[in-house]
Structure 1
Amino acid sequence: MTTEIRGSDFARLARKITEAGLLDRRLVYYAVRGSLVGIAFFGGWALFVWVGDSWWQMGVAVLLALVFTQIGFLAHDLGHRQVFRTRKPSEIAGRLIGNLGVGLGWAWWTDKHNRHHANPNHEDHDPDVSPAVIVWSTEQVERSSGLPRFIAKYQAYWFFPLLTLEAWHLHIASFKALTKPGMRNRAMELTLLLAHCAWYLGLIFTILPVGKALLFLVIHQGVFGIYLGCTFAPNHKGMPILTSDDKLDFLRKQVLTSRNVHGGWFTDIATGQLNYQIEHHLFPNMPAVNLRHAQPIVERYCAEIGVDYLTTGLVESYGQALRHLHEVGAPLRNPHAEAPVHP
């Protein structure tokens, strides 16, 4: 995938986007969106208290998992400074809804996510394609051992079941990150995470007996993880994996490793508008509501300069990702299998 570096291509696109006013802040939009999510959050927990000791709480667990994910989308936007231009209000709001609200370390996740943005799908630099459990390339399969190697053989079948553990993984990683040197505002991050655990677990185990409380936790965190994973998986999984041999300019690095998902207003809301992944990666500080307006501009421009631009439906995006994962594991099922072909 090595290509000549042409930085001016992005500069011309950026001028078009700027002239269209698509990088301007949308404070009213975020005020309305934040208010609706806040109402859903507090309303959901009020419903939890009202329902009380009942098996209907398992449905409330699903509802609150959907709300938690929407809060996660807002924390994501704050991390990219899509809401506020300056760092201070972004950090305050991000920590309140991330650490305190849903129990995810906002500073740690934002740093990790920004490293992903800098080098999407890069084997050496993107933390999202590090072979922790799932492996993303045949080269990673060759180097794998232990659990990743065991999973990799049929990892396409393991993918969705493993997503039920994703929220738990993020909670644990949030605490583990606080032990690493260089973490800013460690005491504040820890205090807010512990406060989340206190109100969240305290409320659940106060209202529900132990058995129902544990089942509520499993369902709530499981659906939370699946929803998060199903939102982020279509964006890059199954797209080309880059190595140190690939010399791409910024525009091509972002576009060629990303996939858009079409589907109308419902898909936009359900995915936090991250279905416009190409535009988001090119302009990460663009307010989410503007991404759909940027999409036709970016697609036309990519066609003009001859850069492949992939958009597909939601179901097909999962199919592409799962086929890639299955093909990556082929050498373990058949030592003579060919390397996967990227879309």
Structure 2
Amino acid sequence: MTMKFEEKCGDNGSLVGRNQSYPGEKHQPKGKPITNGEAEFYAKQEANGKCSVPRKSLNMYTWQEIQRHNQEADQWLVINRKVYNVSSWADRHPGGRRVLNHYAGEDATDVFRAMHPEPDIVQLYLKPLLIGELAPGEHSQERHKNAQSSFLQHDVGHLSIFKKSKWNHVMHKFVMCHLKGLSANWWNYRHFQHHVKPNIYPKDPDIDMGPLFLLGDSQPVKYGKKKIKYINYEKQHLYFYMVGLPLLMPVYFNLQSMQVMYLRRYWVDIAWVSSFYIRYFITFGPYYGIFGTVLLIYLVKFLESPWIAYVTQMSHIPMRMSTEENRDWLSTQVLATCNIEQSFFNDWFTGHLNFQIEHHLFPTMPRHNYHKVAPLVRSLCAKHGLQYVNKPMLRAFGDIVRALKKSAALWVDAYYET
């Protein structure tokens, strides 16, 4: 049953009213806020506890009501006990619509803190979407989630001193599009989904490698029972060396990036990526010609491919994969990731991504800080009975193949089952 309550200042001083605007805030025709200096000033004022707005009534909701709104066209989520209807705004979400849909009907407080380094400014966008609050008798998170584990995200988050800015956005475009020849938007939307729901079918695109590879325990059985055999999956751990390692970057990522840019009309990314190819042809065309320059581009990507495949997959493929279990943030990230032992070489070779658990818990934290929070994360995992996996690098490389072989055996058993 929906109840009403009076508007008040939130715990951090922010308002919880519906359809309110900050002084100085403008709107585009579609309703997307455009912030200016005055609006940001008000956001910071409210974050400091200054609140003097008349009281209004808002709805209060139970988790049972909220969880019904988990469809693509009807999405509610909860942040800090506030209920937001993001259905009409999802297409304008900078992280992509699917990220919001993955948390529809759930508590998104921890993932919100992890992915937004400046939450006070984000409040400008949240205000018009606010429709109510959790009823007083409701838990802050769904009952089966471990709410105690979320304190780490709040208490250690101060180490995430790196602030996002328009220059970070430009640099990301420059590195991804101009230096690597890949769409920055494509990478963002794919990678954000991986971070919020790692190793969860079908929400993590990184584990959807069919029909080439079958991963985890459930996907091979599903294919086997349906008698699906695009390739002889019994040998997937062998052709991983011939296909997965050398072709991930020059073929799979390249083609997918181009497809997404074209279908979604990412004109800015198309212009940036065009500058990547123009630079190559101007620099090397006079020496190698058009065909030779194209070969050079793909040779560089071919050499990079095994590195990116090993560094990204050794921490995920051997770990737990499942359908949505609606776990708390800490459990979701730790069960799907593992670390590689720290050493000078490992830190350099992986770019500090050997601390993959910490990278997933604190995605906006500078990587050189991961080793500082690792002991805290390890102790928290021990407290809550979560296995904190830390292994040698060579063993991690081998675990990729062993995991693929195990999945292949599950497919064989299901496929030939009479």
Normalised to the residue count of structure 1, the TM-score between the two structures is 0.72
- Amino acid in the other structure paired with 2:241: F
- Structure 1 vs Structure 2: percent identity of aligned residues? 22
- Give the Cα separation in 1 of the matches to 2:270 and 2:408: 39
Partner of 1:14: 153
Change (3 A) 1:107 1:211: closer
Question: 1:156 — aligned with what?
Answer: 237
Instruction: Work out whether residues 138 and 329 of structure 1, in 8 Å CA contact, stay in contact via their aligned partners in 2.
Output: no
Q: Equivalent residue for 1:232?
A: 312
Alignment partner of 1:24 is 2:157: no
SS, match of residue 230 in structure 1: helix
Q: How many Å apart are 1:180 and its aligned residue?
A: 3.1
Query: Normalized per residue, which structure has more helix?
Result: 1
Shift in Å at residue 7 of structure 1?
2.3
Query: Which of these residues, 87, 91, 99, is aligned with residue 177 of structure 2?
Result: 99
Structure 2: tracts of 5 or more residues without a match:
1-142
| Preserved CA contact (<8 Å) 2:173 2:269 | yes
Supply the distance in 1 between the matched residues of 2:198 and 2:246 (Cα, whole angstroms). Answer: 24
2:254 to 171, 179, 195: 171
Q: How is 1:37-56 mapped onto 2 (pairs within 5 angstroms)?
A: none
Work out the CA distance in 2 between the residues paired with 1:154 and 1:207. Answer: 42
Deviation, structure 1 residue 124? 1.4
Q: Deviations over 1:129-180 (max 9, x none)?
A: 1133221134322444999741522111122322211112222222111233
Deviations 1:275-305 (A, max 9, x none): 1010011111111110111111211221122
CA contact (8 A) 2:358 2:370 kept: yes
d(CA) in 1 for partners of 2:263 and 2:277? 21
Is the contact made by 1:261 and 1:276 (CA closer than 8 Å) also made in structure 2?
A: yes
Deviations 1:195-230 (A, max 9, x none): 111222443332236786565445322111111111
Distance 1:260 1:247, change over 3 A: same
Give, in whole Å, the separation in 2 of the partners of 1:23 and 1:264.
23
CA distance in 1, matches of 2:384, 2:242: 41
Structure 2 residue 192 is matched with structure 1 residue 121:
no
Measured in 1, the distance between the counterparts of 2:298 and 2:262 equals 27
The reply to whether residue 308 of structure 1 matches residue 393 of structure 2 is: no
1:329 aligns to 2:411 (yes or no):
no
SS in 2 for 1:134: coil
- Name the structure where strand makes up a greater proportion of residues: 2
Aligned to 1:309, the other structure's residue is in SS state: coil
- Amino acid in structure 1 at the alignment position of 2:318: G
Q: Secondary structure at the match of 2:159?
A: coil
| Cα distance in 2, alignment partners of residues 310 and 97 from structure 1 | 32
Once residues 215 and 174 of structure 1 are traced to their aligned partners in structure 2, the CA distance between those partners, rounded to angstroms, is: 19
> Contact 2:149–2:380 at 8 Å: present in 1 too?
no
Q: Deviations over 1:72-115 (max 9, x none)?
A: xxxxxxxxxxxx423x2222110011101110111110111000
- Distance, in Å, in 2 between the alignment partners of 1:147 and 1:307 is 35
Residues 1:257 and 2:336 are matched in the alignment: yes
Read off the aligned partner of 1:6 and give its amino acid letter. Answer: N
User: What is the rounded CA distance, in whole Å, between the counterparts of 2:161 and 2:188 in structure 1?
Assistant: 22
Unaligned runs of 5+ in 1: 26-83, 339-343
Q: Give the alignment partner of residue 267 of structure 1, picking from 346, 358, 376.
A: 346
Aligned to 1:34: none
What pairs with 1:287-302 in structure 2 (closer than 5 Å)?
287-302=366-381
The structure having more radius of gyration, on CA atoms, is 2
Following superposition, the deviation at residue 267 of structure 1 comes to 0.9
Over 3 Å counting, the alpha-carbon distance change for 1:98 and 1:218 in structure 2 is closer
- TM-score, normalised by the number of residues in structure 2: 0.59
CA pair 151-269 structure 1, distance change in 2 beyond 3 A: farther
Aligned residue for 2:200, secondary structure, equals coil
Return the letter of the residue paired with 2:268: M
* Secondary structure at 1:154 match in 2: helix
